[in-house]
Structures are given as C-alpha cells and as structure tokens.
C-alpha cells in the first residue's frame, strides 16, 4: 500500500511543483519589464560566431563601466538609449531615428505646431542636407534661404555627418535668438552665410487670386485646414467666373497624406487609387479617392519645383496619371517614403521608415521625384528683379502655367 501511495505521490508532486514554478514565473514576469528573445543573435540562439555576436554590445558596456574616465557620471539608462539610437542610425536612413522620452515629448509638441525655429523644411539629397522649402513669411524665407540650398555648417560647425533630426534639434532654440547657416547654392562656387532669427512658426495654408478668368491658387502645406480652404477658394473663384485653375505646389513640403487623398477626390473619380504604400513584405495599402470629381474635366495645371515634396508629389502625380493634368516647372524633390511612430512602454519612440509610395501608374517617388511636362527654370538669383517686398517681379513658371491653362480652356470650349 505504501509503495502504491509513493508511486502516485511522485507524479502528483511533480505536477504541483511545475504549477508553482509556472505561477512564480508568471508573477515575476508581471513585476518586471517584459523581455524579448531576439533570435538569430549568436550568443542567444547558438551556432557559429559571425558578425552578429551580441556579446560585443555587452563587452563595450563592460569596458565603459570599468575603464571610461568619467564612468561614474554615466547612467545605465543613457547607455541603453544610446544603444537603441545606434541601432536606428546603423540603417543609414535619414528618416529613421530613436527618440528617448524627453525627445519624444518634444517631437510630439513639434508636430502639433507649438515650436520655435526658422520655418524651413529640410531633407537629404545625396550626401547633403538641403532646404526643401522655406515657409512663406518665415524667418528662413525673410533671411534669403532658398529651396535647394545645401546646408554645410551651423554656427561655424560642420553638419555633413549630422542626421536631419539632429540638425532640426540644433536649429530649434529660444525665440529671438540667432543662428548662422553656411550654405552652398546651386550654380555657385562660393558658400553663403545666412543669419536667421528664431521665431514662432505659423505654418501658412493657402492664398489665391484671379488672373483674368483663371484662378491662381497657392497651397503652402497639406494641413488639417487645407481641404476646406481649397474647396472654398475654388467655389469663390467659380462664382467670379473662373474658367480654369493653376494650382501652385512649389515649395510645398507636404503634410497629411489623408488631405492629399481627399483633395484628389475633387478631380479624380470616386474609388480610384490615389497612392499605394508598399511594405518590405510586399503588402500594399491602397488609398482611394473619395468625392464627386466635380472638377475632373475643368482646365487645370499644377506648378511644381524642387521644393515640392511628399503629399505635393502624391497629388500632382495622381492627377497627372488619371487626368493627364499638365505639370509645369521643375522636377520635384522625391520624398516618397512612409515613417511610422513606434511608441515604446517607457515613453521613447522609434520613428522608422516602413514603406514607400507608389503612384497609380506604378512610379516610385522616392529619390526620383516627378518630372514636369513643361520644364521651365527660374532665373538665377543674380538675374531676378524684386519688388519692394523682396518678391520676384516676373515668374516665367507661372506665366507658362497660365498659358497652358488658356490653351486647355480653348480646347475645352471647342469640345
């Protein structure tokens, strides 16, 4: 009898002990931060030691803690954030970066518009950070910064190996303070030093005016007010007898994708794919037009230049692909990747490129831009004649766009 009891008790005790171990592990796991097991790293998964031995990270950590001159001032959390930032930097993607909790909060404040700076969109072109576009009436525009300017130095210090986001952080500062950018302008051999006063940035949206029977609409950004303002401007222009439109997207660095897709619905049949996002696994998300295409057949030309980026390129490309809308000016910037914010439990964020955009006919925007149907260059700065407000007295790109729309109006009337 005792032998039978012992035989039965052994499996029972094993089950109880396993249960207690499981519960203990569960509660311990809830009490501490979750741990991710990363497969494919040699000292975790086993196998041959190649160039991916994660022990290197721990060895560097250990050497810093033991031998670094000021090791007593180094916080473990800063080392962790530094390692995370290094992972993001290793991708060599200027739009991917790691933000610690403090930087994440500042970034969120910035995208809500509550920031002080110079008012210029910047991005990479080849090995240089360049000005995509200065905002209208911004400190950058008033100081003379131009689309395409290569930024070489900030306050005398080189920025050639600095990321876009790090440069943005350095450009931001107290209102009323000054910075000096050293830039190289296209077609010039000598650099320029441009002193700019930081100020609160108010992002403009839209201006419009009648030029004869053609409405000239300048859209400066794709923000949450853009759709309503552009529809209002079109309606007002129609009541004033507009027979055609010129939509000026020059110097428009983009904004909300949804706004660009929504605006496309004014010109493109409902349910058409305005743009697709393609991910690394081949998956595609399609963004389709929603609207009545009320102006589908209305004479329209779009102005673009090297300062037209992102949402500007999407709208211009979609209308070109579906309606043969003529594009006038210069090749656009070519910013066609999608960034996603991955929020982490401690308040830090990974801003990471996850997809690229594809236009309706299959063109990829990123790094290529969009070519105009009617290439028209602006005069060099030295040849420009300015009015009292510093604006060019002549605009050959706009003149060409107006002529293109006039021709479309004639053709429209004949048909």
Structure letter (DSSP) for residue 386: B
Q: Which one is catalytic: 310, 312, 332, 348?
A: 310
Q: In what order do the strands lie in the sheet with 206-211?
A: 206-211, 214-219, 244-248, 300-304, 327-329, 374-375
* Nearby residues of 175 by Cβ (< 8 Å), 6 or more positions away: 116, 198, 199, 200
Q: Which one is catalytic: 149, 165, 248, 321?
A: 321
Residue 146 CA to residue 219 CA, distance in Å, equals 18
Residue 335 CA to residue 299 CA, distance in Å, equals 27
Mark whether 335 is an active-site residue: yes
Backbone angles phi, psi at 234, to 5 degrees: -65, -45
Mark whether 310 is an active-site residue: yes
Distances (CA, A) of 332 to 57, 129, 327, 366: 42, 16, 10, 10
Which residue's entry shows tokens 């949206």? 205
Q: Which one is catalytic: 150, 306, 335, 351?
A: 335
Token pair recorded at residue 400: 């060409």
Token pair recorded at residue 70: 């000021």
Token pair recorded at residue 408: 């479309």
CB 220 within 8 A of CB 238: no
Token pair recorded at residue 245: 């439109």
Residue 296 CA to residue 229 CA, distance in Å, equals 19
Active-site residue numbers? 310, 321, 335
């Amino acid at each position: 009898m005792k032998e039978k009891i012992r035989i039965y008790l052994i499996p029972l005790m094993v089950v109880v002990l396993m249960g207690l171990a499981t519960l203990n592990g569960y509660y311990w796991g809830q009490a501490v931060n979750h741990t991710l097991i990363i497969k494919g790293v040699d000292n975790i998964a086993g196998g041959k030691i190649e160039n991916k031995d994660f022990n290197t990270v721990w060895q560097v950590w250990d050497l810093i803690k033991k031998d670094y001159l000021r090791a007593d001032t180094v916080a473990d959390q800063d080392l962790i954030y530094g390692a995370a930032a290094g992972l993001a930097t290793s991708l060599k993607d200027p739009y991917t970066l790691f933000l610690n909790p403090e930087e994440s909060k500042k970034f969120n404040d910035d995208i809500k518009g509550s920031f002080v700076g110079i008012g210029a969109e910047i991005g990479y072109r080849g090995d240089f950070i360049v000005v995509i576009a200065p905002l209208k009436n911004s400190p950058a525009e008033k100081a003379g910064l131009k689309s395409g300017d290569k930024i070489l130095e900030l306050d005398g210090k080189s920025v050639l190996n600095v990321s876009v986001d790090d440069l943005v952080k350095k450009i931001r500062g107290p209102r009323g303070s000054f910075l000096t950018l050293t830039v190289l302008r296209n077609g010039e051999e000598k650099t320029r030093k441009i002193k700019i006063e930081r100020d609160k940035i108010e992002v403009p949206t839209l201006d419009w005016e009648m030029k004869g029977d053609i409405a000239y609409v300048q859209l400066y950004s794709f923000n949450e007010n853009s759709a309503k303002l552009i529809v209002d401007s079109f309606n007002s222009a129609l009541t004033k007898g507009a027979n055609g439109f010129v939509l000026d997207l020059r110097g428009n660095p983009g904004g909300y994708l949804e706004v660009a897709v929504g605006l496309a619905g004014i010109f493109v049949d409902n349910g058409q794919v305005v743009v697709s996002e393609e991910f690394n696994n081949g998956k595609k998300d399609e963004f389709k037009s929603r609207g009545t295409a009320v102006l589908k057949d209305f004479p329209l030309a779009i102005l673009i230049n090297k300062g037209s980026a992102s949402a500007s390129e999407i709208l211009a490309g979609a209308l070109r692909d579906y309606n043969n809308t003529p594009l006038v000016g210069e090749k656009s910037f070519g910013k066609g990747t999608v960034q996603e914010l991955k929020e982490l439990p401690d308040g830090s964020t990974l801003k990471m490129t996850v997809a690229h955009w594809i236009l309706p006919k299959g063109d990829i925007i990123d790094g290529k831009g969009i070519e105009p149907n009617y290439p028209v260059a602006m005069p060099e700065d030295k040849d420009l004649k300015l009015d009292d407000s510093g604006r060019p007295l002549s605009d050959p790109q706009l003149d060409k766009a107006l002529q293109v729309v006039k021709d479309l109006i004639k053709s429209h009337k004949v048909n």
